[in-house]
């Protein structure tokens, strides 16, 4: 984000989806959109979307991970982790367990055969 201009909160979800690889925290999301104060970003986000930004961040990342794991494209867990901004397979594993209760392999087509 160039300058001090804050991007409109209405575009926050599309902004995140386009940058899943580089945004992994609400503070990074807020800063990337030009918000120096992540609490202000969170408040505006909650008022507009009626959900916590962390919840939306996690939902979008887990949806993308499940999509990548189930579409039969043979991506490794490392590649899926990278696509959603997690540092490695272990971070992906912990994230998926925390959010869905299941490991990444649960969603993989090859694991269900």
Q: Is the pLDDT of residue 38 over 80?
A: yes
For residues 98 and 45, give the distance between their C-alpha atoms in angstroms, rounded to a whole number: 23
Identify the residue whose tokens are 């918000």: 35
Give me the pLDDT at residue 61, please.
Answer: 98
Give me the pLDDT at residue 113, please.
Answer: 40
Cβ–Cβ under 8 Å, residues 33 and 41: yes
Q: Is the pLDDT of residue 30 over 90?
A: yes
Those residues whose C-beta lies under 8 Å from the C-beta of residue 34, and which sit 6 or more positions away, are 1, 3, 4, 5, 6, 7
Domain parsing of the chain, residue ranges: 9-54, 58-112
pLDDT, tens only, 54-112:
999 999 999 999 999 997 778 899 999 999 999 999 999 999 999 999 999 998 855 44
| Rounded average pLDDT over 3-19 | 93
């Amino acid at each position: 984000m160039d300058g001090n201009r804050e991007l409109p909160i209405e575009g926050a979800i599309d902004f995140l989806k386009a940058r899943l690889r580089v945004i992994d925290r609400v503070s990074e999301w807020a800063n990337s959109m030009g918000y120096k104060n992540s609490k202000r970003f969170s408040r505006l986000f909650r008022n507009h979307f009626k959900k916590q930004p962390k919840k939306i961040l996690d939902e979008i990342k887990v949806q993308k991970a499940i999509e990548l794991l189930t579409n039969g494209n043979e991506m490794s867990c490392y590649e899926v982790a990278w696509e959603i901004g997690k540092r490695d397979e272990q971070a992906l594993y912990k994230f998926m367990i925390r959010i869905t209760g299941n490991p990444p392999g649960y969603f993989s087509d090859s694991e269900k055969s």
